[in-house]
Amino acid sequence: MKVVFLGPPGAGKGTQAVRIAEKFNVPHIATGDILRAAVKEGTELGKLAKSYMDRGELVPDDVIIGIIRERLSQDDVRSSGFILDGFPRTLPQAEALDELLSSINMELDKVIYLNVDDEEIVKRLLSRGRADDNEDVIRNRLEVYRKQTAPLIDYYKGKGLLAEINGVGDIDEITQKIVEAIGVNG
């Protein structure tokens, strides 16, 4: 299974991606989690990433693409595929992913676009309490999402890969809709 989760911050990508990854026993690759772990460990990557994350800006494409290139080369991904959560977030990242996948003879099965309106997003993020979840940073992350990530909706629509799912409602029902969108053969 090779699936990408797309959607604004707070859409529930992480929650749903973990559920799908567990259900189908596929590696869950979340760039935000990888970066937060690096920040916690105080690595060079962590130091660099933190300055962007604190402001709600995106970490530079080449850095993120390097992380994904390395992760996708690992055995578990080669045998089971992946659930990508929070990547790609820009057109150059999406193009780099296409190239990476074609170089290892893989292609995406589906892009799950979790759609949630702005008011609900701000409400959810304010109640989450993560370090980068204060109101100014949230607004900036939404702005960054609109400008840099939302164009991926059309990019994947054009490739016939997009499945749009309403991200508001009962968590189990949303999971079920995602499972149906991915299809039984995964």
| CB-nearer residue toward ligand AMP: 81 or 88 | 88
Whats the size of the chain, residue-wise? 186
User: Strands, DSSP E only, in 20-176?
Assistant: 28-30, 82-85, 110-115, 162-166
User: Exactly one of 19, 36, 110, 141 is catalytic; which is it?
Assistant: 141
Locate 183 and state its tokens: 């299809």
Q: How far is the CB of 62 from ligand AMP (least distance, A)?
A: 11
Min dist. Cβ of residue 38 to ligand AMP (A):
10
Among this protein's residues, is 19 annotated catalytic? no
| Terminal alpha carbon distance of the chain | 5
Work out how close the CB of 81 gets to ligand AMP at its nearest, in angstroms, rounded to a whole number.
Answer: 18
Residues that bind ligand AMP (CB under 6 A): 9, 31-32, 35, 52-53, 56-59, 64, 86-87, 89, 93, 141
Contact assessment for residue 142 and residue 83, using Cβ atoms and an 8 Å cutoff:
no
Nearer to ligand AMP, 49 or 105 (CB): 49
Say whether 141 is catalytic: yes
124 is catalytic: no
Q: Closest CB to ligand AMP belongs to which residue?
A: 32
Tell me if residue 55 is catalytic: no
Nearer to ligand AMP, 16 or 93 (CB): 93
C-alpha 33/C-alpha 70 separation (Å) is 15
Q: Decide: 39 and 153 in contact? Cβ < 8 Å.
A: no
Q: Give residue 53's identity as a one-letter amino acid code.
A: M
**Does residue 2 sit in helix, strand or coil?**
strand
- Residues with a catalytic annotation lie at 13, 89, 128, 130, 141
